[in-house]
Chain A
Amino acid sequence: MRKWHYPLLASFLSIAFLAGCGQAPQSQANTQGAGASQAGQQQAASGAITVYTALEDDQIKTYLESFKAKYPDVKVNIVRDSTGIITAKLLAEKDNPQADVVWGTAATSLLVLEQQGMLEGYSPKGIERVSPEFKDTKEPASWVGIDAWETAIAVNTKELEKRNLPIPRTYEDLIKPEYKGLIVMPNPASSGTGLLTVNGIMQLKGEQEGWAYLDKLHENMAIYTHSGSKPAKMAASGEYPIGISFGYRSITEKKKGAPVEVVFPTEGSGWDVEANGLIKKAQIKPEAKLFLDWAITDEAMKAYNQNYAIVSVKQDGAPLPEGYSVDPISQLVKLDLKKAAENRDKVLAEWEKRYATKSEPK
């Protein structure tokens, strides 16, 4: 028992020893890595890039098909999560960025990254074809949009019939007492759809009235969900008959055969642009730029257009995706994305303070 600390010491020493061993190969790996990426520059389109995105899971695979056909040797590692999570992750990794590219993530989030100096300006090939309201007007551009998405309400007609309730058409309808406990909407802290809906309401009603309205809406709210898709899916399954969601998801659920009617509120919809940007880091991979070039090509736009009525490069003659019955652009409220980005923190903090207790975990 007297000498027990020797072995303990020995074991700690051996940790230190292991530590020493570990260090050497790592620094070796680093130099190797640098060599590899130099080689990559000479012989482009064969590396791996990490892409952070908030696009929908069921879209990504189809979208990437044309990229993979064009650059079969580039490995694309996709990190997907809800807008708020992706944004938080990017901000947290500010000093040691893991992502090479941000793809299809809310412009209001990219503007926050820009304010933090985390984006490297890059105007992808063909940027001149992108409508000016969908891109950063600076040269080189910090972000370039691919499509816009907007608030839509998925309403389960069967469940409302059972309760003998009319379909809500406006924001004002939603705060009527008869809908109490029947509505779900996404938490704006985690969901881009949640945030753009709140932004839209603030824009329509002004700040003070906007919060007063949300207070009343809160009274009717069953739960706030983590993602923007879940309310539409819950409405589709009748779990909660009214889901504040976005156009694409609500329409998809209807197409799948759920008894859902997609309502674009008559006052107008809040909206945001899904945009791309290049992350500023010590070594910017050429493949990252190739990806950004590809992301606004016609092939890519055609794929986006299958799902979204509004894309950033106008597709002449392309039919509206099924389900969007009104002129999609006129449905959008007037919204200054830059101002929305500046207010993001403030809005989220206020929201958290007022309604956090009803939010779904996460």
Chain B
Amino acid sequence: MNGVVTAPKGKAGQKWLMVLVVAGLSASVLLPLIQLFSKAFYDKNGLFVGWDNFITYFSTPALSQSLHNTLYISSMTTAIAVSLAFLFAYALTRSGIRGKGFYRAVALLPLFAPTMMHGIALTYLFGNQGLVTTGIFGLLPFQWDVDLYGPVGIVLAEIVYVFPQAYLILAVSLAFADYQLYEAADTLGAGHVRKLMTVTLPGVKYGIVSACFVCFTLSFTDFGAPKVVGGQFSVLATDIYKQVIGQQNMTMGATVGLLLIIPALVAFIVDRIVERKQHAAVTAKSKEYRIKANGWRDLFYTVVCLGVSGFLLLLMATVVLASFIQVWPYNLDFSLVHYDFSNVAGEGIEPLWNSIVVAVLTAVIGTCVTFVAAYAIEKSQVWKGLRQAGYFLSILPLALPGLVIGLAYIFFFNNPANPLHGLYGSLWILILANVIHFFAVGFITATTALKKLDPEFEQAAESMGIGQMKLFWRVTVPVCMPAIIEMLVYFFINAMVTISAVVFLYAADFKLASVSIVNMDDAGDIAPAAAMSVLIVVLNIIARAGAEWISARLRKRTARTEQEKGQVA
């Protein structure tokens, strides 16, 4: 890891780097998890009680009811969201509709918002004073009361939350297809339904499985939406919060945390298996999918896409509108009063600045750490076993819900015997929790980019006696720049919207914007909570747009260099 590592000593440097990566991940992922799991088997006073906590859990009706509720919410969300996302992704990859870029942008919009925002939007649409419920305050001849607070509200909010994820997975699956299969089916005279059942669906089955698990896990562990629109309907995520924050019952929190991790772990394992199988599906001989002209099909998918993106835009627009209205629903004058956070719960505007600080630091540190970890694991030729351990630890966070990370960190870092105890209650534990929470995706992005890098660079460098460090800075980093920018934005946006891990870890004098949204909602300051959400979304869109701009410039520069090279040749 020392600045100058010459070629012969390269192996030693690699070894140190590997050890550092694995040690760091063990200390920040494995040990806290072990601590959390063991907590579930001890009582409040630290006596070992075996399965007692679980027995208590299942024999408390109010608690075990939540497990049932959560399963219901997640199944409904998964079924509806995956179906919609499939249609949407199909429309964007395999139909001839216009405006695909627009639909795609709208579909990804929910990623920029904290999940509380979807709940708030639904409140203003379908709540008792909502636009739809009251028929735009009596302007419309009809009214529609969906009985929002409870399962209806949670499922709706979760669908919005998981839709972009399902769409992304399915769009990737649908984009890869061997058109020869369709040609063969046509030759054999197969109808539309038959083609769907025998070619299309089998071709994307892994994508569908993967999307189902992701949607199930996300909605199983989400905390923001049920907090806002859950009403009296309790779910596991809010139970953990209630036990830990409301009653300071840490052992029961750990017990529920263990239950929460089960679907995520299953999803993780399935995803690993699917990942392996999917590689073989498309070969070099495959032919790209060709979209045939078909007016009726395009009309149908235009309606689907308009419907879905119209609803997503309506939600966003409603929150923006609500944040500018003086007193909903009695005084509909335009007002900026809700953007003055000084007189509501949640410590004014400061949490937004805090969030920006945390998000920027998370982005920079997270990107560096995941990139270096990916580099160490991908490029080093030493210690295969340790590399595999490192790889496993790097993608393990995929299986960890934020609430579980937050809880594990309380147990691990708030223990005075822990030498890293000093992190607790500081800004750094928030950053560490965020980096770990979003580690896997950053890591996979970096690994994919590094895999594309021709190993001949290294061989050439070695034979020319150029040090690995030099190669890293001169070649590896510049070539991976698009991926690095992608990682930066990913970390930034997620750190801005996340609530689950940080809600347990923020210090009293350092509240985050997402936490203040929850506080404001608790106190009934819904409009300022809407305003804060809008600010988060705006910042995230700016970050995303900035990244797009930089990437575009980079691409242009690369293209120019290529061209110049061509002219020279």
Q: Which residues of A pack against B, CB within 8 Å?
A: 1, 3-5, 7-8, 10-12, 14-15, 18-23, 25-26, 29, 50, 57-58, 61, 77-79, 82, 84-85, 88-89, 91-92, 96, 158, 189-190, 222-227, 229-234, 236-240, 256-259, 352, 356-362
CB contacts (< 8 Å) of B342 on chain A: these are 61
Checking A79, A84, A230, A358 against B246 with a beta-carbon cut-off of 8 angstroms, the contacting residue is A84
CB distance from B145 to the nearest CB of A (A): 11
Q: Which residues of B pack against A, CB within 8 Å?
A: 15, 18-20, 22-23, 26-27, 31, 61-62, 65, 123, 127-129, 149, 226-227, 230-232, 234-235, 238-239, 241-242, 245-248, 250, 327-331, 342-347, 383-386, 389, 416, 419-422, 508-509, 522-526
The answer on a CB contact under 8 Å between B421 and A26 is yes
CB distance from B122 to the nearest CB of A (A): 13
CB contacts (< 8 Å) of B522 on chain A: these are 82, 225-227, 230, 362
CB distance from A87 to the nearest CB of B (A): 9
The answer on a CB contact under 8 Å between A14 and B19 is yes
CB distance from A250 to the nearest CB of B (A): 12
Shortest Cβ distance from A233 into B: residue? B524
Asked if A26 meets B238 with Cβ closer than 8 Å, knowing A18-B27, A78-B508, A189-B246, the reply is: no
Shortest Cβ distance from A6 into B: residue? B383
The answer on a CB contact under 8 Å between B386 and A237 is no
CB distance from A229 to the nearest CB of B (A): 5
CB distance from B329 to the nearest CB of A (A): 6
Q: CA A25 – CA B238 in complex, angstroms? A: 38
**Secondary structure call for the B interface:** helix
The answer on a CB contact under 8 Å between B419 and A356 is no
CB contacts (< 8 Å) of A359 on chain B: these are 232, 234
The answer on a CB contact under 8 Å between B23 and A15 is yes
The answer on a CB contact under 8 Å between B246 and A232 is no
CB distance from A252 to the nearest CB of B (A): 10
The answer on a CB contact under 8 Å between B327 and A361 is no
**Secondary structure call for the A interface:** helix
Shortest Cβ distance from A240 into B: residue? B128
CB distance from A153 to the nearest CB of B (A): 15
The answer on a CB contact under 8 Å between B242 and A361 is yes
CB contacts (< 8 Å) of B20 on chain A: these are 11, 14
- Please name 5 further chain A to chain B contacts, defined as beta carbons within 8 Å, in addition to the given A223-B232, A359-B232, A361-B238, sorted by A numbering: A11-B26, A19-B419, A26-B422, A57-B344, A360-B231
CB distance from B348 to the nearest CB of A (A): 9
The 3 closest A-B pairs by CB, nearest first: A4-B385, A22-B419, A233-B524
Checking A4, A85, A239, A361 against B386 with a beta-carbon cut-off of 8 angstroms, the contacting residue is A4
The answer on a CB contact under 8 Å between A227 and B523 is yes
Q: CA A225 – CA B227 in complex, angstroms? A: 11
CB distance from B213 to the nearest CB of A (A): 25
Shortest Cβ distance from B247 into A: residue? A88
The answer on a CB contact under 8 Å between B327 and A360 is no
CB distance from B326 to the nearest CB of A (A): 8
Asked if A229 meets B246 with Cβ closer than 8 Å, knowing A26-B419, A357-B65, A361-B226, the reply is: no
Q: CA A259 – CA B331 in complex, angstroms? A: 10
The answer on a CB contact under 8 Å between A239 and B230 is no
CB distance from A360 to the nearest CB of B (A): 7
CB contacts (< 8 Å) of A358 on chain B: these are 232
Checking A19, A21, A50, A237 against B129 with a beta-carbon cut-off of 8 angstroms, the contacting residue is A237
The answer on a CB contact under 8 Å between A230 and B230 is no
CB distance from B411 to the nearest CB of A (A): 13
Q: List 15 A-B contacts (CB under 8 A).
A: A4-B385, A7-B386, A8-B389, A11-B386, A29-B422, A223-B231, A224-B232, A229-B345, A232-B524, A233-B525, A237-B129, A237-B327, A239-B123, A361-B238, A361-B242
The answer on a CB contact under 8 Å between B419 and A23 is yes
Could you say which of B226, B383, B522 has the most chain A C-beta atoms within 10 Å of its C-beta?
B522
Q: CA A224 – CA B62 in complex, angstroms? A: 15
Asked if A227 meets B524 with Cβ closer than 8 Å, knowing A10-B19, A85-B246, A362-B238, the reply is: yes
The answer on a CB contact under 8 Å between A233 and B523 is yes
The answer on a CB contact under 8 Å between A360 and B524 is no
Q: CA A4 – CA B388 in complex, angstroms? A: 10
The answer on a CB contact under 8 Å between B524 and A234 is yes
The answer on a CB contact under 8 Å between A96 and B416 is yes
Checking B61, B344, B386 against A58 with a beta-carbon cut-off of 8 angstroms, the contacting residue is B344
The answer on a CB contact under 8 Å between A362 and B246 is yes
The answer on a CB contact under 8 Å between B26 and A238 is no
The answer on a CB contact under 8 Å between A50 and B247 is no
Shortest Cβ distance from A52 into B: residue? B508
CB distance from B522 to the nearest CB of A (A): 5
Q: CA A19 – CA B384 in complex, angstroms? A: 27
CB contacts (< 8 Å) of A230 on chain B: these are 522-524
The answer on a CB contact under 8 Å between B384 and A258 is no
The answer on a CB contact under 8 Å between B23 and A12 is yes
Shortest Cβ distance from A79 into B: residue? B508
CB contacts (< 8 Å) of B421 on chain A: these are 26
Shortest Cβ distance from B130 into A: residue? A239
CB distance from B12 to the nearest CB of A (A): 12
The answer on a CB contact under 8 Å between A4 and B149 is no
CB distance from A274 to the nearest CB of B (A): 17
Shortest Cβ distance from A20 into B: residue? B419
CB distance from B248 to the nearest CB of A (A): 3
Q: CA A230 – CA B524 in complex, angstroms? A: 4
CB contacts (< 8 Å) of B523 on chain A: these are 57, 227, 229-230, 233
Shortest Cβ distance from B331 into A: residue? A257
Asked if A360 meets B330 with Cβ closer than 8 Å, knowing A7-B22, A11-B386, A225-B524, the reply is: no
Checking A61, A77, A229 against B524 with a beta-carbon cut-off of 8 angstroms, the contacting residue is A229
